[in-house]
Amino acid sequence: MEQAKDVARAILAEIEKAGASFDRAEPNHEQRFLNLDRAAGEFLFFLVRATRRRRVVEIGTSNGCSTIWLAMALRELAAPGRLITIERNPQKQRAAVDNVRRASVHDYVEFLRGDATEVARTIDGPIDCIFFDADRVSAHLQLKVLWPKLSADCLLVTDNAISHPAELEAYFGLLAALPEFQTLVLPIGKGLHVAHRIASRGARTP
Ligand SMILES: C[S@@+](CC[C@H](N)C(=O)[O-])C[C@H]1O[C@@H](n2cnc3c(N)ncnc32)[C@H](O)[C@@H]1O
């Protein structure tokens, strides 16, 4: 396992370096990889592992940087968990499939392609963690679709909470209307918004 961890971390370091250099030279924002910061990746790995998430959905795969962090955490469970990751850009998804395989975590990942809200409708529950890292403005739509499929104990993590709060306004508004969730914004990377629910009573539909 230690050797497998080293392989995945070496691939992560390579992706981060290549991604940052590609993004600096790429004028089209849509084509950039926009990988999450290392500190955010380390924290995501820690959180998913420590809270023993088993069925994770990631929205916004890009070339697979956060996908590898999440899959590394799922791999460490006694009965390994499963990650479904969604991306609309075919080139980025191809790069992610390749990177995830090179990091040797492909056994834990399923790749779906298309618009996140539409694809989310096809995913079966239960889901105990969602990582939102796509266009931000549609995160509330994906939450509405996935809401009925969430387990009572669930964790929602959203990147860019400090860098782009206005674009996440609808998402924050939806979550604020849900009393079962405890939320926190952490100054890690571009700002991670974390919401956790342990629903002891019946869960409400938004
Ligand atoms: C910030 S990047 C994700 C970075 C990735 N999580 C990582 O750490 O490497 C956002 C990605 O989400 C994809 N995306 C944005 N909006 C989307 C949508 N509505 N449906 C599917 N994919 C979307 C973009 O193509 C882009 O690759």
Domains of the chain: 2-198 (3.40.50.150)
pLDDT at 108: 97
Q: What is the pLDDT of residue 166?
A: 98
Identify the pLDDT of residue 18: 93
Q: Cβ(87) to ligand 1 under 6 A?
A: yes
- Taking the CA of residue 142 as reference, the ligand 1 atom at the shortest distance is 19
Spatial contact of 66 and 93, defined as CB atoms under 8 Å apart: no
What average pLDDT score do residues 119-129 get?
97
Q: Can you give the pLDDT at residue 135?
A: 97
Q: What is the largest CA-CA distance in the chain?
A: 51
Kindly tell me if the per-residue pLDDT of 180 is higher than 90. no
Report the pLDDT value the prediction gives residue 2, as an integer from 0 to 100: 74
**168, β-bridge pairs:** none
What pLDDT score was predicted for residue 3?
76
Please report the pLDDT score of residue 78 as a whole number.
83
Is the CB of residue 89 below 6 angstroms from any atom belonging to ligand 1?
yes
Q: CA 13, CA 6: separation in Å to the nearest integer?
A: 10
Is the backbone of residue 160 left (phi > 0), alpha (psi -120 to 50) or beta? left
